[in-house]
Amino acid sequence: MTGHTALFRFDAGPEIGGGHAVRCLTLARELEARGWTSRFAVGPETLGTVAAMADRAADCVVPDDMAALAPVTAVIVDHYGLDIGDEKPWREIARHIVVLDDLADRRHDCDVLIDQGLGRRTGDYAGLVPPGCRLLLGPLHGLLRPEFAAMREAAQAARGLATVQRVLVAFGLSDPDNLTVRALEGLAGKGLQVDVVLGAGAPHLDSVRDAAAALSPPGRVLCDVDDMAGLMVEVDLAIGAFGTTSWERCVLGLPTIGVIAADNQRDNARILRDFGAAVSLAWHADLTAKDFANALGRPLDLADMSRRATQLCDGLGTGRVAGIIGDLAEGHAPALRSATMADADLLLLWRNEQETRRQSKTTTPVERAGHVSWLDGVLADPNRDIRVAEVNGRPVGSIRAERSGDAWVLSWMVAPEARGKGFGHRIVARIVEDLDGEIQAEVRVGNPASARIASAVGMTLRDETDGLTTWVMRK
């Protein structure tokens, strides 16, 4: 894939921090690895706040000059202060618009919206995005640097201590509320090895250094760390906010004492706490050093917290998002439409094809009369949803989601002439976007292609019974 340009619109600064920039740079690097060119429209404080932007100054313009870079394939925006009024004019310079959001509190004009928050549901964006907008929700689509997934296995192997010996304190690049000093004061007298991570432009850096030096043993203060994943592997516990870094910690199974540093982190905090992956403290403005000290004084089951954390995020979201944006740019993105009785013969043809029968629960051919009766029942059942996947108007497969208790169970077929082109993965990923809660798939042992699809969309193998493997995920 070559010849595509992504224009990123975000800001960073001492007050808003660098989280928007980090997410966008992560996605930019993944797109660049796939042959894209990246450009950036950023505010005046961004280059001084985010060290990684220093080498990209030549690729940056001020936001008012975005039109000078036209035409671009996609504008990708990560900014809480922008909405549909800002996005509509970008249709003049871009074929596609992609929005990164955490708030679900304003309208957007976009083709793809990414919200990686835990507990986010498709209904949260009802009326806020145009019809046909693809919603990429939850940590499954978390924009994390590839080194986190690469170090996942090593991190899990390293989580063997029953007690905390080494702590990472990280509240983002800028930490405008100086939560770091309160946490360090709470660590006083604990005798723990402490690493602190901040940006070189953080407004309270001097006071953080003083607080770290006062610890016994003295804490280390590290600025603009390049290998955050490696550092997380080495520590036993993290203290930080419930923002994007939550997913980095989960990928590596790092137990957390967390702080709600912004309103949009409340759901993350609640779900991580309820799932047993983190201890959640109070709203940041209400916290004192004593709150941190008390949390550190309580017994923590580090092994159980680590195991639970790893179940929430696999670290592969950036690749998933970049693939979807790439499909959109190339015209390979499958459209799912509801099946009708007019599709009966096509679905029967696919179902009775030799390889499809070999991988089905029932391997004998299906008679047309029975198939038509079955399809009529499926279309009339609100707990069953069958769709036909099309690319540029050409049918390439089908997928069915059936409600079983509290879960959706998926089954899919790819047209024989469309196999080997990645459509199976795209079809399953597309319907997963529309579903909430637990999602399952049953795959016959000896069907590695479908097993790879289940794994690629974020499912994990739960069990194997009577020649069938069950794959599960939760959104």
- Token pair, residue 265, equals 């982190």
Is 316 contained in some domain? no
Residue 326 placed within a domain: no
pLDDT digits (tens, 9 = 90+) for 236-269: 999 999 998 999 999 999 999 999 999 989 999 9
- Residue 413 shares a structural domain with residue 438: yes
Q: Which amino acid is at 238?
A: A
For residue 324, being part of any structural domain is answered with: no
Peptide bond into 217 cis (omega under 30): yes
138 contacts 158 by C-beta, under 8 angstroms: no
Range(s) of the domain holding residue 26: 5-141
Residue 134 and residue 169 in one domain? no
| Same-domain pairing of 11 and 44 | yes
Residue 472: helix, strand or coil by DSSP?
A: strand
152 and 296 co-located in one domain: yes
Per-position DSSP letters for 183-247, written without gaps between them:
HHHHHTTS--EEEEEE-TT-TTHHHHHHHHHTSSSPPEEEES-S-HHHHHHH-SEEEEESSTHHH
Same domain, 349 and 393: yes
Give the global pTM: 0.85
Tokens, residue 22: 């980090």
3-state SS, residue 319: helix
In a domain, residue 469? The reply is yes
Please give the tally of structural domains in the chain: 3
Is 14 among the domain residues? yes
Angle between helices 448-456 and 423-434 (to 10 degrees): 40
User: Do the domain assignments include residue 444?
Assistant: yes
Band (pLDDT 50/70/90 cuts) for residue 1 is very low
Residue 306 to residue 249: CA distance in whole angstroms: 9
Share in percent of the chain as helix, strand, coil (round to 5): 40, 25, 35
CATH number of domain containing 134 = 3.40.50.11190
% of the chain at pLDDT higher than 90: 91
Strands (E), 45-128: 60-61, 72-78, 94-100, 112-115
Same domain, 152 and 194: yes
Residue 329 lies inside a defined structural domain of this protein: no
Q: Are 430 and 412 in contact (CB under 8 A)?
A: no
Q: Are residues 31 and 75 in the same domain?
A: yes
CATH number where 421 lies: 3.40.630.30
The whole-chain average pLDDT of the chain stands at 95
376 and 404 together in one domain: yes
If asked whether residues 353 and 459 sit together in one domain, one would say yes
CA atoms within 13 A on the CB side of 125: 29
State which of 101, 122, 141 marks the end of a domain. 141
Model pLDDT for residues 386-398, shown as the tens digit of each residue: 999 999 899 999 9
Instruction: Assess if residue 322 is contained within a domain.
Output: no
